[in-house]
Amino acid sequence: MTVAADWLQLPSDHLFGVSNLPYGVFSPRDGEARVGCRVGDRVLDLGAAAEAAGMESALVWQTGTLNAFLAEGRSAWAAGRAWIVEMLTNDTRRGCVEPFLYDLDAVTLHLPFEVADYVDFYASEQHATNVGSIFRPDGDALTPNWKHLPIGYHGRAGTVVVSGTDIVRPTGQRKGPQDPAPVFGPSVRLDIEAELGFVVGDSTQVGTRVGVDQAEDHLFGMTLFNDWSARDIQAWEYVPLGPFLGKSFASSVGAWVVPMEALAAARVDLPGQDPQPLDYLRGSALFGLDISLEVAINGTVVSHPPYLDMYWSPTQMLAHLTVNGASLRPGDLFASGTISGHDKGERGSLLELTWAGQEPITLKDGTTRAFLEDGDTVTITGTAPGPHGTRIGLGEVTGTILPAR
Amino acid sequence: MTVAADWLQLPSDHLFGVSNLPYGVFSPRDGEARVGCRVGDRVLDLGAAAEAAGMESALVWQTGTLNAFLAEGRSAWAAGRAWIVEMLTNDTRRGCVEPFLYDLDAVTLHLPFEVADYVDFYASEQHATNVGSIFRPDGDALTPNWKHLPIGYHGRAGTVVVSGTDIVRPTGQRKGPQDPAPVFGPSVRLDIEAELGFVVGDSTQVGTRVGVDQAEDHLFGMTLFNDWSARDIQAWEYVPLGPFLGKSFASSVGAWVVPMEALAAARVDLPGQDPQPLDYLRGSALFGLDISLEVAINGTVVSHPPYLDMYWSPTQMLAHLTVNGASLRPGDLFASGTISGHDKGERGSLLELTWAGQEPITLKDGTTRAFLEDGDTVTITGTAPGPHGTRIGLGEVTGTILPAR
């Protein structure tokens, strides 16, 4: 087992030990934003440490986004991570590390990468079944295509914000089944979607495909993700061209991107796909992730969505995304879609937890919620198995609802 | 009427005279990409001319995209255009212009701006009616929301390509009504969509709205647009979350972005909106554009889509896009949706022109087309009214279909 250098005083069971090392972007007080990696409850300025150690590729980290590093591709990601581990486990490297460590509470965390294109998938069978049952009670819960392809759609890249950013309640049109005409106002059904976001690197050209077994060359890492959703706006607008303003006002990503390498112990077999998908969605690089999320509203834990049950592999999502020749750019982000398990306490959205508002949940202060109220703070956290029975932390994605403007 | 300087030998009725002056990005042979504007059949290197004239803001044009100029906002756009007109109409400025003019056939044209987010609307009533009739023959052609809001969805910004880029036929899943299971292969229903694209500048913050009457502060210009569509892929995937791979393989924009100022004479009243939309979609800045498009396949003109009949104003589309607080970035692009008029010869897609392939069209070489074949070249051109009865050119958006890989 990899052990941190003694001087770091980093317990081997720390959620952010040397088997994790997620990347982010931070700025010290009065300093510029730069790439860092989380080490325990501190953050290491990677560009500064690399420069001090005489590493030629230090420049790639001396910027305010991960995009340059994302562009370099899988071998550079592996080499960079190996170098960081070496710096943190070899006592003789202390001089190149210690001066560049900052306490987390002394820095500001930023959006870790500039989002190129953002795609949201719909990969949880239980979530799709729940939503189908709520929105289309008279039809089949799953659409006929659902088990043949990972359904996805493009979202708004420009409104992806970092954890901690306040969320202004969106305004728009809604029309209930009994309303004679649409009405305008702040959303009255503001919701969350607990998801994972996968961060893509190493670009491809238009007209090329990335197969299931090549997908890992482009999967840099994973982050917690909350796809805020205005259910009333969405319900009125989404036929026939899909969600638009019900989703595009804001989507929150965690400040930490966990490298796929750190998730090796979290890999599990998929729960099983029947019918077997078409050839381009098959391969040897199929996996799920045994990641446990926790959703809290104002400190009350309301759900424990398990990523374990997700139907489609991240590699299948990426293969599907590119099968038509769509190119990839560093900073492309695709999210899993809401993660919901079979139990009620495992649902990843209020839409499901309260069954479209019919069964409100009670918070520990005694108040109830059908959907989010102004001032509510939603925090999603998560952990995954690490090596040798340990766990690694995924950080958090949090946001507080501000009243509509 | 504004008249070009004599030495330019630019007739007052030229489609690219001094009342037009669209922006683009070009590179001379062995030179770097830079911002230019089209002057007749030449292109002016704006950054070089501005530097020669001692203009302080020359740097904004000395880059390979329009984005820096887009970021500056409406007053800078007006000042920049006024300066260019002055340079081209005042004989004494010849020395700052002539050295920096390049013949169009001696330069390469590039994507004129880096696309931030791309949204496709669905603003032609006749197109939506046609598509609804074809895809949902047993229901109402227009969905209940269509006349209450400009329906839109996000597309893939990373696969927006400049006119002239070859289009690789996309591959993917399709499933006809009679197929027992989906099949995989190159799209057999590859189509075009003749549209206009609107280019956005001057960013806003998340949580703010741009009203109808502020929208023009963010509307920089307009370009021809072809939203290539694989109808078979689209039909199988699009319920419930909208078009995805059927559109995301490529969308082509023209190399020239015509400033909104150049389209002043093209403005017309909207055809009329009934029912009246909600307040946030009303205002004084509502307009249509009397723009005539022409669609040709391998040199045979197959359609003349009229933008004149479009239901929603571009300012309404932008107001809708931001009403939920979604922010704008320089380089945001929104397209009108397919432009179709009432007559059969005015339909903007093959889906409509051939009524889903049932009524193939005949090209002048005697061959017929239900959808596009490999090797086909589609070219969309357009003109708009200019001052005093003249017309201005919008250039072209063209692409040739390559076989699937």
Q: Exposure of A92 by Cβ count < 10 A (0-12 exposed, 13-18 middle, 19+ buried)?
A: exposed
A42 alpha carbon, distance to own chain's centre: 21
Distance CA A358, CA A376 (A): 20
Size of the A and B interface in Cβ pairs below 8 Å = 202
Q: Which of A128-142, B139-153, B345-359 has the lowest mean pLDDT?
A: A128-142
Give the gap in angstroms from C-alpha B151 to the nearest C-alpha of chain A: 7
Q: Is A120 helix (H, G, I), strand (E, B) or coil?
A: strand
Is the pLDDT assigned to residue B1 strictly greater than 80?
Answer: no
pLDDT digits (tens, 9 = 90+) for A252-299: 999 999 999 999 999 999 999 999 999 999 999 999 999 999 999 999
Residue B193's nearest CA partner among B380, B402, B396 is B380
Helix (H) / strand (E) element for A34: namely strand A34-39
Q: What's the token pair of residue B18?
A: 């001094």
Neighbours of B298 (CB within 10 A): 17
Handedness of CA A313, A314, A317, A323 (dihedral sign): negative
Give the gap in angstroms from C-alpha B324 to the nearest C-alpha of chain A: 4
Which long-range contacts does A369-375 make (Cβ < 8 Å, 24+ apart)?
A369/A297, A370/A189, A371/A188, A371/A189, A371/A190, A371/A191, A371/A231, A372/A190, A372/A191, A372/A192, A372/A297, A372/A401, A373/A401, A374/A169, A374/A401, A374/A402, A374/A403, A375/A400, A375/A401
Q: What's the token pair of residue A287?
A: 């996996």
- What torsion do the CA atoms of A385, A391, A394, A400 make, to the nearest 10 degrees? 120
B20 alpha carbon, distance to own chain's centre: 16
Residue B393's nearest CA partner among B251, B292, B299 is B292
Is the pLDDT assigned to residue B262 strictly greater than 90?
Answer: yes
Tell me the chain B residues in contact with residue A321 when contact means C-beta distances shorter than 8 Å: 245, 248
Domain boundaries, chain B: 6-110, 118-358
Residue B312 has phi, psi (to 5 degrees) of -100, 140
- pLDDT at site B203: 97
Tell me the chain B residues in contact with residue A144 when contact means C-beta distances shorter than 8 Å: 175
Is the pLDDT assigned to residue B77 strictly greater than 90?
Answer: yes
pLDDT digits (tens, 9 = 90+) for A331-341: 999 999 999 99
Distance CA A397, CA A381 (A): 7
Residue B269 has phi, psi (to 5 degrees) of -65, 155
CB–CB of A172/B210 below 8 Å? Answer: no
Nearest CA in chain B to A275: B181
Which one of B161, B324, B329 would you mutate to disrupt binding with A, by most A Cβ within 10 Å of its Cβ? B324
Is the pLDDT assigned to residue A157 strictly greater than 90?
Answer: yes
**B324 vs A181: CB contact, 8 Å cut-off?**
no
**B171 vs A208: CB contact, 8 Å cut-off?**
no
- Tokens 């659409």 belong to A143
| Beta pairing partners, A368 | A362
Residue A235's nearest CA partner among A227, A245, A248 is A245
- pLDDT at site A321: 98
Neighbours of B297 (CB within 10 A): 22
- Cα separation values, B8 from B42, B55, B315, Å: 10, 21, 36
Distance CA B232, CA B211 (A): 37
Contacts of B377 (CB under 8 A, 6+ apart): B297, B298, B398, B399, B400, B401
The residues of A carrying an active-site annotation are 127
Q: Is A41 helix (H, G, I), strand (E, B) or coil?
A: coil
The residues of B carrying an active-site annotation are 127
Cis before B271? omega within 30 = no
Tell me the chain A residues in contact with residue B184 when contact means C-beta distances shorter than 8 Å: 278-280
- Cα separation values, A37 from A124, B20, B61, B345, B354, Å: 30, 51, 37, 60, 57
Tell me the chain B residues in contact with residue A152 when contact means C-beta distances shorter than 8 Å: 241, 244
**A244 vs B170: CB contact, 8 Å cut-off?**
no
- pLDDT at site A61: 98
- pLDDT at site A274: 97
In this complex, the residue of B151, B275, B278 whose CB is nearest that of residue A237 is B151
Q: Exposure of B13 by Cβ count < 10 A (0-12 exposed, 13-18 middle, 19+ buried)?
A: exposed
- pLDDT at site A135: 82
**DSSP code of B196?**
E
- Tokens 């990677």 belong to A46
**DSSP code of A405?**
-
**A324 vs B280: CB contact, 8 Å cut-off?**
no
CB–CB of B87/B37 below 8 Å? Answer: no
Neighbours of B81 (CB within 10 A): 16
Q: Is B320 helix (H, G, I), strand (E, B) or coil?
A: helix
**A405 vs B239: CB contact, 8 Å cut-off?**
no
CATH number of this structure's domain B6-110: 2.30.30.230
Cis before A275? omega within 30 = yes
Distance CA A110, CA B298 (A): 50
Is the pLDDT assigned to residue B136 strictly greater than 90?
Answer: no
Contacts of B54 (CB under 8 A, 6+ apart): none
Confidence class for position A136, pLDDT limits 50, 70, 90: confident
Q: Is B168 helix (H, G, I), strand (E, B) or coil?
A: strand
Which CATH superfamily includes the segment(s) B118-358?
Fumarylacetoacetase-like, C-terminal domain (3.90.850.10)
- pLDDT at site A139: 87
pLDDT digits (tens, 9 = 90+) for A342-360: 999 999 999 999 999 999 9
A9 alpha carbon, distance to own chain's centre: 29
- What is chain A's mean pLDDT, rounded? 97
Tell me the chain A residues in contact with residue B237 when contact means C-beta distances shorter than 8 Å: 145, 149, 151
pLDDT above 90 as % of chain B: 96
Confidence class for position B12, pLDDT limits 50, 70, 90: confident
Residue B161's nearest CA partner among A125, A395, A205, A128 is A205
- pLDDT at site B57: 85
CB–CB of A121/A127 below 8 Å? Answer: no
- pLDDT at site B2: 84
Confidence class for position B56, pLDDT limits 50, 70, 90: confident
pLDDT digits (tens, 9 = 90+) for A198-215: 999 999 999 999 999 999
Q: What's the token pair of residue B73?
A: 């906002």
Contacts of B126 (CB under 8 A, 6+ apart): B309, B340, B341, B342, B346, B347
pLDDT above 70 as % of chain A: 100
CB–CB of B121/B151 below 8 Å? Answer: yes
Distance CA A278, CA B107 (A): 45
Radius of gyration of chain A (CA): 21
- pLDDT at site A12: 84
In this complex, the residue of A119, A237, A325 whose CB is nearest that of residue B168 is A325
Which conformational region is residue A54 in: left (phi greater than 0), alpha (psi within -120 to 50 degrees), or beta?
A: left
pLDDT digits (tens, 9 = 90+) for B352-401: 999 999 999 999 999 999 999 999 999 999 999 999 999 999 999 999 99
**A279 vs B157: CB contact, 8 Å cut-off?**
no
CB–CB of A190/A169 below 8 Å? Answer: yes
Distance CA B354, CA B371 (A): 8
Higher confidence at residue A177 or residue B167? B167
Which CATH superfamily includes the segment(s) A118-402?
Fumarylacetoacetase-like, C-terminal domain (3.90.850.10)
Residue B260's nearest CA partner among B217, B233, B220 is B220
Residue A266's nearest CA partner among A295, A294, A292, A284 is A292
Q: Exposure of B53 by Cβ count < 10 A (0-12 exposed, 13-18 middle, 19+ buried)?
A: middle
- What is chain B's mean pLDDT, rounded? 97
Distance CA B173, CA A317 (A): 14
